[in-house]
Amino acid sequence: MYETRDYMLYREKALRHELAEAAGIAEYFQRLGVKIGNNVFTGLDRASPADLHKPDLLHNIYLGLFKHMMEWVEGFLKKHKRQQAFDDARKEISPYHGFSVQKKAYREIPQWQGKQMRNLGRCISAVLASALRNPYSSQYKDFKSALKCVSTQVDFTLMAQYRSHTPDTLSYMESYLQTFHRTKDIFLEIRTSKATRAQANRQDRELRELMADQRAEEVRHRTVANRRRLADQQRIERSDRRADLIRRENHFNFIKMHYLTHFASHVRRFGSISMCSTEIGKLAHKDQIKDGYCRSNKKEPARQILSHYGRQHTLGIRLQTIEALLKVEGVILVEDSGMEILTVPSRSTPRRVLKGRMKNTSTLTE
């Protein structure tokens, strides 16, 4: 688990040593891995750049870490030949209210939306447990660690969605996050970049050529059984060296992984994480922008989008006003039928008689 950085402390140190020990404070921040520089918020006393980034469940969790985790799970299942079992178990889940099941495999869908990733998060623990059942003795430890890592990540996400928190719920969040960081190394081999993979292949090729030359020199002095045993040992040695190289070069040091450590502190300082979610903005973006753009002729679309949304908003207010007036007058309009039903006013509620300036005008509708 990576150490949480105290940016307010960094700011105080930078201000204190700005004139006296500029070189010394630069070396101090360089050891911490922090860059010193000015940004657009420099000079604004009441603006803290460290507090501007807020946790977002949609982009930090569902479209961020969940997508990374599913790539790790897919690679882990492929390594142990359990992909088909995972897909079959997920397709067997019955849909219910508020939950839909994708009939395609995860790798067959090119782009996952936030709602789909949320539904996947609801069932990933049970589906993965079903896919990893009945392991061999050599797979038991790896399967247990993988299932523990995924389950704690899902538990952390569910706790982060709470509308209100107590010290106990925050301690649960931090406990789940620590367990996730302790067990995530089971997926370290899956997080291999192209450069690391090329380096590992180059090392394996060089070792294979070197070992082939050694076997060619000793082939005359060994029996067939000894040569076969030596080839097996060399194959295991190449595999171990490849695993050591990948383990040494791979890491989980990326921003979305680190930002999970700020969730609990954000709740203590600013309140629920759901208040900073961008899901509402994305839903409004569809109604306010995308629909209007699709109905425009794509020439100067901004003016047409504003005009389209203005008409839709005006008509919506007008319809709500008519419905409210009809209910006041004792008439209920049945939707999609055009029928009007007269209601008998209650005797206990006095009815006010309205008079207009013109003749035959005595109600709001008239």
- The single-letter DSSP state of residue 290 is I
| Mean of all residue pLDDT scores within the chain | 80
Do 84 and 130 form a contact (C-beta atoms < 8 A)?
Answer: no
pLDDT, tens digit (0-9, with 9 covering 90-100), for 138-147: 889 999 999 9
Q: Looking up tokens 């961020």, which residue turns up?
A: 64
Which residue type does 74 have? E
Amino acid, single-letter form, for residue 287: D
Q: How is residue 350 annotated by DSSP?
A: P
Q: How far apart are CA 364 and CA 366, in angstroms?
A: 5
- pLDDT, position 74: 92
Tell me the range of 1-5, 193-197, 307-311, 345-349 where mean pLDDT is highest: 307-311
The reply to whether the predicted model has a pTM over 0.75 is: no
Q: So what's the pLDDT on residue 77?
A: 92
Dihedral of CA 294/295/297/299: which sign?
negative
Query: For 271-284, how does the pLDDT look when each residue is reduced to its tens digit (9 = 90+)?
Result: 888 888 787 777 77
Is the pLDDT at 129 greater than 90? The verdict is yes
- How many angstroms separate the Cα of 288 from the Cα of each of 38, 58, 296? 36, 20, 13
* Amino acid at site 133: R
Cα(86)–Cα(149) distance, integer angstroms: 17
- 13-70 residue pLDDT tens: 666 665 455 566 777 777 767 777 777 777 777 777 777 778 888 888 888 888 889 9
CA distance 199 to 189: 14
First to last CA, the chain: 71
Report which of 130, 34, 32, 25 is spatially closest to residue 77, judged by C-alpha positions.
130
Lowest mean pLDDT segment, chosen from 31-40, 72-81, 107-116, 269-278:
31-40
Helix (H) or strand (E) holding 266: helix 263-270
Residue 332 has pLDDT above 60, yes or no: no
pLDDT at position 349 is: 47
